[in-house]
Amino acid sequence: MREAQFASLFATEAQSLAIILGTNEIASATAVRLTWDGYLVILSHDPYPPVIRRGMAFHDALFEDRAQVDGITGERAETVMEIVGALAKPGHVVVTPLELTDLIALRTPDVLIDARMQKYRVTPDLRGISRLTIGFGPHFEVGVNCDVAIETHPTTTGKLIETGRTAVADGRARDLGGVGKDRFVYSDRHGLWRTPVDIGMRVFKGLVIGNHDGAAVCAPMDGFLRGVARDATVVPHGVKLLEIDPRGRAASWTGSDQRGRAIAEATAKAIRIGAARQKLLDAAQLSRG
C-alpha cells in the first residue's frame, strides 16, 4: 500500500522530470543546472565509458559514497520508494543503476538527455520517449535520433544544433594548463582495473597509479590526479583510465568546470526554446479546434 502511494506521488506532473543518461561530469553539471531550474532529475548509469572525473560527478553515489557537485547531492536509488524519497529532498538528484526502460515505466520524462558521451558508438533513436530529447556530442542528428543536439568538441563546446548533425569525434582534447591529450592515459586492453589511489592525489611522472589486467599503469606527468577510473572497474580497450591536472596550485578536481557549465547552459536554452515552440503549437491547435 505504501509503495502504491509513493508510485502515485511519482506519477504526478506537478514538477517536470528530466532523465539523464550518464553519470559523468557533463551529465552531472547538467543535472545541477536543471535542479536549479526546478526539475526533478534522475541520472541513469551506463558503464561505457567508465567515469574518471568522479570528483566532478555524481557517479560515486552509485556506491553510496558522498557525491556533491555545486551544492547539489546525488543519492543512489533503485526502488520507486527510494527514488521518490530522494527526489523529495531539496537539492537532491537521483543516481540509479536502473536503465531507461525501467525508468519510463514509472513516468514519462518531460526531457530526456543522452549525456553518455559515447563518441565511437552508434546512438539509437530516442525521440518520442519524452517531449524533448537532447543529445550531447558525436553521433547525433536532429530529426534522426534526437530533437536537438549540443556540441561537446573543444572548439564548439555548448553550440546548439537545431538542424543537421554534430561534429564527429577527432580525438582532440582541450588544453588544460597547456597540455592536451598527453595528460590522459588510455587503456590498451580489456580487463579489471585496480588502483589504491583516488582523486586529488599529488603524483609524479612514472608513479604507478594502478594495474589494468596485469599491466602497471603510470602517471604520464607531474600534477594532481584529476580523474581516475574507480577501483575494481572492468575497463574496456581504448578508453580513458586517468587524467592528470598539470596546473600546480591552480589544479581543480571537484565541482563543475567551464565546459560542463557551458553544455548545461545550452541545455537549459534548448529546453526554453522547445517549451516556447510547444506553446505555439498548442495555441495553433486550439485555434483550429
Q: Parse the chain into domains and list their residue ranges.
A: 1-170+257-287, 181-246
* Rounded Cα distance, 248 and 204, in Å: 12
Sheet of 184-186, strand order: 184-186, 240-245, 223-228, 202-203
Residues in the chain: 289
| pLDDT score of 4 more than 60 | no
One fold for 1-170+257-287 and 181-246: no
Instruction: Considering only residues 279 and 134, tell me which one the structure prediction assigns the higher pLDDT.
Output: 134
Percentage of the residues of the chain whose pLDDT score is greater than 70:
94
Percentage of the residues of the chain whose pLDDT score is greater than 90:
82
Cβ-based neighbours of 15, under 8 Å, separated by 6 or more:
38, 39, 40
Apex 102 CA angle, 99 and 103, nearest 5: 90
Q: DSSP code of 198?
A: -
Asked if 62 and 45 count as a contact pair (C-beta separation under 8 A), the reply is yes
Q: Which of 168, 169, 126 is nearest to 144 (CA)?
A: 126
> How many C-alpha atoms does 8 have within 13 Å on its Cβ side?
5
Q: Which of 168, 141, 174, 182 is nearest to 155 (CA)?
A: 174
Cβ of 195: how many Cβ atoms within 10 Å?
20
| pLDDT score of 2 more than 60 | no
- Per the DSSP assignment, residues forming a β-bridge with 89 are none
Q: Which CATH number fits domain 181-246: 2.40.50.100, 3.90.1300.10, 1.20.1270.360, 1.10.1660.10?
A: 2.40.50.100
- Band the pLDDT of 274: cuts 50, 70, 90: confident
Report strand pairing: 132-136 vs 111-114. Answer: parallel
- Band the pLDDT of 232: cuts 50, 70, 90: very high
Residue 173 cell numbers, joined:
582534447
- Band the pLDDT of 279: cuts 50, 70, 90: confident
CATH number of 1-170+257-287: 3.40.50
